[in-house]
Amino acid sequence: DCIKSRVDDMTCPRSSISLLSPPLYHQPLKFSLSYRMLDKVSIKLFSKTDGKLVTQTVLDLEPTAPYVSKDTVFNLPPLPEVGKYIVEMQAGDRKKQMEVNYTLLYPVIRQWSDGRCEVIVLNNATGAPIENAAVEILKSNRHTYTLAGKVQTDAEGKALFETDDIQSLAIMVQKDGYG
């Protein structure tokens, strides 16, 4: 039974989806899809606010060997407006969902060799710097995040903080009126 279970696990259909970059103003959404033993996947995008279908597509996938995963990239049309969206992927009778938050805030993160980290917050539509945006620095510990610091952006949209490990950080940016 154990061997049969392992073989079934290695050869059963699988899929996962991830967004490759934050949604950009008037730009397609770019996703990565990893799959095994699937020939088609249905993708639907819904507005989280009202549940309305925004777009949908069916991807015809290249065949894979039973134990081999394959990756592909696909695009969905640009999001119509600022807000929260649900991407639903269906393969056979299995459904997976992920949330996409489209805002007009676009953080650019740079780490300097002296340990400082700079976050520049830009307007996603115009590219202009955003003053007085709240930048929260979250420290990851496996699957949980704790607040490590909070700074405001200056007139140039910049916020500085020090870190010894940027790989374990997540950045959240907020400002009223920007989604």
pLDDT tens string for the chain (179 positions)? Answer: 778 777 777 777 888 999 998 899 999 999 999 998 899 999 999 999 999 999 999 999 998 887 888 999 999 999 999 999 999 999 988 899 999 999 999 999 888 888 788 999 999 999 999 999 999 988 887 778 888 889 999 999 999 988 766 667 788 899 998 88
User: What is the structure's pLDDT at 93?
Assistant: 85
Residues 41, 148: Cα–Cα separation, whole Å: 40
User: What is the structure's pLDDT at 96?
Assistant: 93
Report pTM: 0.78
User: What is the structure's pLDDT at 170?
Assistant: 83
- Helix (H) or strand (E) holding 4, with range, is helix 2-11
Q: Please state, in angstroms and as integers, the Cα–Cα distance from residue 108 to each residue in 7, 8, 75, 86, 99, following that order.
A: 44, 43, 22, 24, 21
Q: 1 Cβ partners below 8 Å, 6+ apart?
A: none
User: What is the structure's pLDDT at 97?
Assistant: 95
DSSP string, 58-82: EEEPPP--TT--EEEEEEEPPPSSS
Ramachandran area for residue 177 (φ above 0: left; ψ -120 to 50: alpha; else beta): left
Report the candidate in 139, 141, 133, 136 with the shortest Cα–Cα distance to residue 166: 139
What is the bridge-based pairing of β-strands 105-111 and 70-76?
unpaired
User: What is the structure's pLDDT at 115?
Assistant: 77
User: What is the structure's pLDDT at 166?
Assistant: 64
Residues 97, 87: Cα–Cα separation, whole Å: 6
Tell me the sheet residues that pair with 158: 120
